[in-house]
Amino acid sequence: MKFNVNLKAGISIEIVFEGENKDNRVLTYAKDKDLFSGKLGEVYSYLPFDGDKQIFVGLGKKEELKEDEVREVFFKLVKVLLTNKEYEAQVEVPSIEHVDKNTFVKALVEGSLHATYRFDKYKTDKKELPEITINILTNKDISEDIKEAEAVIEGIFFARDLVNERAEYLYPETLADIAKSELSPLGVEVDVYDEKQCEELGLKGLLAVGRASERKPRFIVMKYLNNKNDNEVIGLVGKGVTYDTGGYSIKPTANSMDIMHCDMGGAGTVLGTMKLIATRKIKKNVIAVVGACENMVSGNSYKPGDIIPTLSGKTVEVLNTDAEGRITLADSVYYVTNELKVNKVIDLATLTGACLVALGEVYTGAVTNNQEFYNELSQAAKSAGERVWQMPADDSFRKLNKSSVADIKNTGGRLGGTITAGLFIEYFVANNVPWIHLDIAGTAYLSKPEKYLPKGATGIHVKTLYNLLNK
């Protein structure tokens, strides 16, 4: 898809707000016939009228328009263009008091590009998507806004492709190879530790979870240090379980296992974010860590009832081998906060079914030890159109993780499962570093499309993290 500035060509897209009157015969006709009123998301095509082709797009009440609604409307518009085989269009950016034109343009570009995503690499009869050109008419300089929006979508699509990829082709070693090949040329220092090196580092939790698989764990450390004048380093940690059977606590049905290639959704978001911030060359210092492994079943599997050590020296009583992600995160979070000494850390993980029960596929669940830090992330998420809901977290929940035979157990039971899982990870945050846990079990991989997000991988929170890091 191409975007041009102030080039008048192609079918005319007319933006209409609800209740707005315009001197346009087609619009008057459509309103009189109750075909179009300007309500949010309405699209009315009139092809042609007196030789002119026009598409009317409703943005609802002008004073209530939100940035994310612009994304959704232009996503729908591009679908209409494709249906009508119209591959070039022009649109004038409207004047809106509370949404500046640069913000509008970025949302327009993002929404339009969302409509082009496909994961069809394994289809033999796939058809190339026709190239669409949108010419944007405005009196402001928007070239940089277009470039930024294109980079954001590239990072999101990169994350989606990783999470949609099947475990036959994406496993710890190949994930590490992709991190090197994609990020190193952008100036990100990527270090990959194999199984023997993980043993030397003391990553005993990660190794325990991954030891049953023939495809051995990899520990991936990505460093983007682009501000020598700033001592602050932000840590990102992504759950990287590239396939999850549940181990000996095996998942109950094949239907719950066939999408478990998506259990590295946190890693996908982290890699997508690193690609985006490096492409945009933002002036920040960020270190990202992914402990990649497969949770398989064999005679060498870790078992319910086992007590396993971790990098921190703390021990974990394993009650459920399908609560494996938090064990790998225990090592990863401790490593980035204690060994690499980041100042703040965010972990992202497809962690609990309990989050799906609580928040569906709509909201990401969040647990934090620092309200100020969370408030910053919450604002970044709101601007991104990515919904996050903070969970309560106090000692009433922490005590559910207490073990009688080890330092902590890896499940606090069914009640409050999203919270206790997050607080398990908190137990391994070193030096009281400000920390946020994002449970993306419901939002990273959808069972059906939602707004401009497709079925399958969403690339959730690449934009949130970019907004947070780029302020």
Please list the active-site residues: 251, 326
Residues pairing with 33 in the sheet: none
Q: DSSP state, 99?
A: B
Cβ atoms of residues 217 and 292 within 8 Å: yes
Tokens (6 digits) for 396: 């009433």
Category of 35 on φ-ψ map: left (φ > 0), alpha (ψ -120 to 50) or beta? alpha
d(CA 404, CA 284): 43
Please give the distance of CA 265 from its chain centroid, rounded to a whole number. 8
Q: Which amino acid is at 204?
A: K
The residues, ordered by sequence, that sit 6+ positions from 65 with a Cβ below 8 Å of its Cβ are: 17, 40, 59, 96, 98, 99
Radius of gyration of the chain (CA): 24
d(CA 17, CA 25): 16
Residues pairing with 243 in the sheet: 294
d(CA 96, CA 115): 24
Kindly tell me the number of DSSP H helices and DSSP E strands found in the chain: 14, 19
The candidate with the shortest Cα–Cα distance to 271, out of 345, 188, 195, is 188
The candidate with the shortest Cα–Cα distance to 275, out of 266, 261, 288, is 288
**Torsions phi, psi of 358, nearest 5?**
-75, -45
The CA–CA distances, whole Å, from 438 to 66, 69, 93, 160 equal: 24, 24, 35, 17
Tokens (6 digits) for 18: 């609800």
